[in-house]
Amino acid sequence: MTTGPPGFSRLPPALRRPAVLDACSLLNLCAADPLLDDLAGLGARFHIVPQVRQEVLFLRGDGPGAPARVRVDIETAVQRGTLTQVGLSSQTETDLFLSLVGDGLHDGEAASAAVAASKGFSLLTDEAPARRVMATRKYEHLLLTSADVLKVWVASMGVDADTLREMIRRIEHRASFTIQRNHHLKPWWDQAAGRA
């Protein structure tokens, strides 16, 4: 797809094709609200499989007086069209799913990866095992991380340094996320978080 709504051309190629989110990445992006809505407004298309929809339940509360846990509102995101549910729709996808489970991936990661690989969608995952398995199977070109998407959001929406710092804090705190030491964007992440 080469055309889309205004701003679509600001998205990198990996977000111009649909992206399937695993549970960790969905939690991260929900913690960084309104990132998903902003990118969807530019034409990015985000999908989740039923297994991930069942896994993603809560984020940590944030701020004084906030509850310890806050339910993730996936239903509203689906109703707005920010997220679309997609499932295993062929025997090929089911076979790949079972093979990926055999490689040690959890059901949500395996289903997300099977859908992405069979449909040529991007796979948004921060999980090292899923990334290793997909790279071994020659699907590395489909892989994105939460940090990749956050950086695209910053560039596409003209986000200032203070807002970015707050988004990183929310992702790290509310989704209990730590960027991997060997991630290609770790220096950018740490600098944006005010740690470098």
**CATH architecture for residues 11-146:** 3-Layer(aba) Sandwich (3.40)
If phi > 0 it is left, if psi is from -120 to 50 it is alpha, else beta; for residue 159 that is: beta
Each residue's pLDDT tens digit, 20-30: 999 999 999 99
Q: Tell me the three state secondary structure of residue 70.
A: strand
**pLDDT-derived band of residue 8, with 50, 70 and 90 as boundaries?**
confident
Q: Return the domain boundaries, the chain.
A: 11-146
What pLDDT is stored for residue 1 in this prediction? 44
Give pTM, 2 decimals. Answer: 0.91
Residues whose CB is less than 8 angstroms from the CB of residue 152 and which lie 6 or more positions away in sequence, other chains included: 11, 12, 15, 39
Q: Are 47 and 19 in contact (CB under 8 A)?
A: yes
User: What residues form DSSP beta bridges with 48?
Assistant: 85
Angstrom distance (rounded) from CA 21 to CA 126: 10
